[in-house]
Amino acid sequence: MKPHESVPYTLPDMSDADRIARARAFRSDLSRRRSCRYFSDAPVPREIIEQAILAGGSAPSGANHQPWHFAVVSSPDKKRAIRVAAEAEEAAFYGSDANSARAGDEWLGALDPLGTDAEKPFLETAPWLIVVFAQRRGGIKDDGTTQNYYVNESVGLACGMVITTLHRAGLATLTHTPSPMGFLREICERPAIEKPAMIIVTGIPSANATVPAHALIKKPLSQIASWL
Ligand code: IYR
């Protein structure tokens, strides 16, 4: 390593048995996470959202530039505006018939087991929408000009940590990506330098919430890992 300012780094000491137990317990809790599309309108404390965003903000990022902004929407008017704009895009995506859909047959076929369509009532029902923006420029000082690096990767990692924290706090989430998402910049009053990445919808599942059975199929370790 080249000379640079540094501080000590330590983690709590523990046995391998403790490490394994903690990995198992965390994994087991995370295995109950689902993408939820049915939300109750029950309010959820803002403090949970703040903690989740701070967790996301601690994610690794290119050159530690932290190229993200979280626009947190709870206003009914703003939620409605997002729903109306998102549903207009989704209507074009799904089309009124297979010939008019912006999505191709293969994409629509891949979505069949999820049962999704252009209706997005959860954008109004859920108490919080976290609209995540990726900053192409800004650097650690948020100066709006310094180049950022690995922006998509960094923002994806941050979103994963937000979702994980919300799940640990007992909240359901949906990572929602209406396409295209340009309308979010205007509604959330964000600058042109930022690109909408996704909406993290969060709240409590409605009493009759379901998830597609398809969502329970997870690839086994042997399929997703190789050991060299
Ligand atoms: N944005 C659309 C379509 C959609 C696309 C994918 I890939 C999904 O995993 C789920 C939905 C929608 O939200 O319906």
Answer yes or no: CATH 3.40.109.10 is held by domain 35-208. Answer: yes
Structure-token pair, residue 183: 């309308």
**At 97, is the pLDDT very low, low, confident or very high (cuts 50, 70, 90)?**
confident
Helix, strand and coil content of the chain, in percent to the nearest 5, comes to 40, 15, 45
> Residue 214's pLDDT is what?
98
Amino acid found at 6: S
Tell me: cis bond preceding 180? Omega within 30 of 0 counts: yes
CA of 177 to the centre of ligand 1 (A): 7
Please write the tens of the pLDDT for every residue from 6-58: 999 999 999 999 999 999 999 999 999 999 999 999 999 999 999 999 999 99
pLDDT digits (tens, 9 = 90+) for 169-214: 999 999 999 989 999 999 999 999 999 999 999 999 999 999 999 9
Q: For residue 50, report the distance from its CA to the centre of ligand 1, in Å.
A: 27
The answer, as to whether pTM is greater than 0.95, is yes
- Kindly state if the Cβ of 111 falls inside 6 Å of ligand 1: yes
User: Cβ(179) to ligand 1 under 6 A?
Assistant: yes
CA of 178 to the centre of ligand 1 (A): 7
Each domain of the chain, given as residue ranges in start order, spans 35-208
Cβ–ligand 1 distance for 56 under 6 Å, the answer no
175 CB within 6 A, ligand 1: no
* Ligand 1 center from residue 87 Cα (angstroms): 12
CA 13, 18, 23, 28 torsion-angle sign: negative
The response to whether residue 177 sits with its C-beta less than 6 Å from ligand 1 reads yes
Using one digit for the tens of pLDDT, what is the confidence trace for 121-138? 999 999 999 999 999 999
Task: Judge if the beta carbon of residue 176 lies within 6 A of ligand 1.
Answer: yes
Query: Considering only CA atoms, which of 172, 167, 175 is closest in space to residue 26?
Result: 167
